[in-house]
Amino acid sequence: MAKNVNKGRQGIRGGRFAAKASDVMEEINASIDFDRHLYAQDIVASQAHARMLAETGIISEEDADAISGGLDTILSEIESGAFDFKQELEDIHMNVESRLGELIGDAAGRLHTARSRNDQVATDLRLWVRDALDGLDTASKNLQAALIERADEHSATIMPGFTHLQSAQPVTLGHHLLAYVEMLGRDRGRAVDCRRRLNECPLGAAALAGTSFPIDRDGVARALGFDQPMANSMDAVSDRDFALEYLSLAAILAVHLSRLAEEIVLWCSQQFSYAHMPDAFSTGSSIMPQKRNPDAAELVRGKTGSVIGALTGLLITLKGLPMTYGKDMQEDKVPVFEVSATLNLCLAAMTGMVGGMTFDTERMKADAGAGFATATDLADWLVRELDMPFREAHHVTGKLVTMAEKKGTDLDGLSLDDLQSVDRRITGDVLGILNVDDAANSRSSYGGTAPGNVKKAVAKARKRFLS
């Protein structure tokens, strides 16, 4: 065993160094604690590379078969937990290669022909991010499905719509929830765009300049599901745009989740009392037995900071790097892995919260009428029915709001005499548009909050996002 480990280490340092690396150097240089996550991608890429080497006559079919079989064994060992990862072998690539040598002997040494760890890790990480994007799309779609179902259920539930966190106009809860469906739709679109751009294969770029061996880069790209090989060998090993783009779209998605989480926190507070969090996503207090804390929503909101920080951190790591590969790039994987785990957890938590929340529809409707929320409807009526310029209608409505405020009532509490004392042209027809139900129903323009619109929007959202 020690002999094979030494051969693995010699493969990295070669004959260039007379002394072994210090323990500190080994620790700072090792990435196996995190890049072991790339094991499946590393093995599948190595198998594709070995098959290509055989097909082009660079290595024998026998060696390629031995390599492929040995890699299958290693994959099984890792997935069963039997594989012994060694820090002294630095990374996933050398751990796999060293174990392959133990299994099949000298044929293992032929696997690294015509490639470098530079193009190897770039390929592995692209494959990993591609898989992560597919998983992210599925998790986002699940949250959309939960939101769409609740929107359908509450297509006619009236609630306050806010600007500046002040009551603005009545809206429907279904319309409110569908806003997040649209946000998630754009998030999924960004993931699709990122996947399309990253789907080029670096393998075959070798260290930075390509290789003198007659390799088939197109064949390897096809075997790994890439659209094509990367066109420039220097770009192939140094590009991490795809990781930045992944973290960027992840940060935007996390912000959207955080905004929804913030609203859930507000809605579950006693001051709002719009929503009730299910027990499965609530916690208690160590000292106050009456508390029901929406901790799942708060944690989604809090974890957004780490996602944004990951993007910022990798941007700073990469900003000063010259062409081509620098060991700084070893730091690209931790933020990507951590963000993927964080986002999947947050999406699952949010899906559970959205699906399990109950709403106090009476409280929401009562609040929808507070704060003179139908004032805009009154102004619109004055424009539509009395042919009043909007600025004049705005002025008249403002006077009526002041009157209602002094009387301690909402606009629908004013009498016709009250209304006509400000403008004699106002008729009794206006009384039918000052309640919140009529106000919401009147917003029937495309994209508006009217219940009929929401039902149509739900049907379209199911087709656009879930089919």
Q: Name the catalytic one among 60, 76, 285, 444.
A: 285
- The residue behind tokens 């006077």 is 399
- For residue 256, give every residue at least 6 positions away whose Cβ sits within 8 Å of its Cβ, in sequence order, or none: 180, 183, 184, 187
The answer to whether residue 285 is catalytic is: yes
Q: What does the angle CA 19 – CA 23 – CA 28 come to, to the nearest 5 degrees?
A: 110
Chain centre distance of CA 321: 27
Q: Which run of H or E residues covers position 44?
A: helix 39-55
- Residue 164 appears among annotated catalytic residues: yes
Longest dimension (CA), the chain: 101
Q: Which two tokens stand for residue 176?
A: 């409110």
How far is the C-alpha of 345 from the C-alpha of 334, rounded, in Å? 17
Quick one: DSSP state of residue 166?
E
Identify whether 324 is preceded by a cis peptide bond (ω within 30 of 0).
Answer: yes
Identify the burial level of 323 via C-beta atoms within 10 angstroms of its C-beta, where 0-12 means exposed, 13-18 middle and 19 or more buried: exposed
249 Ramachandran zone, left/alpha/beta (phi>0; psi -120 to 50)? alpha
Q: Classify strands 200-201 and 228-229 as parallel, antiparallel or unpaired.
A: parallel
- Catalytic residue, candidates 164, 212, 286, 445: 164
Our separate counts of H helices and E strands in the chain read 19, 6
Residues with catalytic function: 164, 285
